[in-house]
Amino acid sequence: MQAHKPETHRTSRIGWLRAAVLGANDGIVSTASLVIGVAAANASQTQVLVAGVAGLVGGALSMAAGEYVSVSSQADAEHAELRVEQDELEQFPQQELKELAGIYVKRGLDPVLAAKVAEQLTAHDALSAHARDELGITPELRARPLQAALSSAAAFATGAVLPLGTILMAPAAYRMPVVMAASLTSLAILGAMAARAGGAPVVRGSLRVVLWSALAMAATAWVGSLFDVALN
């Protein structure tokens, strides 16, 4: 018989993984699309870089602000639910104990065992027991606004550096296809890594990122080409 190996669960990664993946994807796609669009209008390398750096700074701060506000709203809702539950535990402890036991009965425990489990968990930490089993709030999945904001900003900036660095190194005549190729390759790798870390199919995760990113870059290149003039 094979020895049993402890499972590796990924739920604790969901918060930071979501913020990091979204930030890096947006950093690459937004900045690459921006510099491709400006380059398509026959801008100089300096003008393209200025636009890209402005996009990096603005995008990173925008991602941080948006993520902070979004996750703060989730955290506020969690805190409100916990306050209500704490009040209920203080005012109606026996009813809350029966409610907790009823949850365990619905999950398959017999009433006697469910009552014992509810009593022991209540004695240990009543609020945590109700938060986890009644509200679905766990320490691993709690909303962390500041962590999410910083992760998003750092990931966006890290992703944005790629197209900017490519612009610096690519020959002027080929900067658009080179930026697009480098960005899509990086996005494919990032999508595969994110899918693997989250336990999802790697190929599908990679392809969907590449497809939508390519459409975004193609659209901005088309818009930039409509001007077809050197920017002053």
- What pLDDT does 19 receive? 62
- What pLDDT does 46 receive? 87
- State pLDDT tens for residues 182-209: 999 988 888 887 777 667 788 887 888 8
Distances (CA, A) of 55 to 26, 29, 30, 107, 126: 11, 11, 8, 51, 48
Task: Report the candidate in 56, 36, 49, 51 with the shortest Cα–Cα distance to residue 154.
Answer: 56
- What pLDDT does 4 receive? 45
- State pLDDT tens for residues 24-33: 888 999 999 9
| Residue 120 and residue 113 in contact, taking contact as beta carbons nearer than 8 Å | no
d(CA 101, CA 97): 6
Tokens 């870059």 belong to 217
d(CA 210, CA 186): 9
| Residue 176 and residue 33 in contact, taking contact as beta carbons nearer than 8 Å | no
- State pLDDT tens for residues 70-121: 888 888 888 888 898 889 888 988 888 888 888 889 888 888 998 898 888 8
| Residue 36 and residue 179 in contact, taking contact as beta carbons nearer than 8 Å | yes
pLDDT of 57 higher than 90: yes
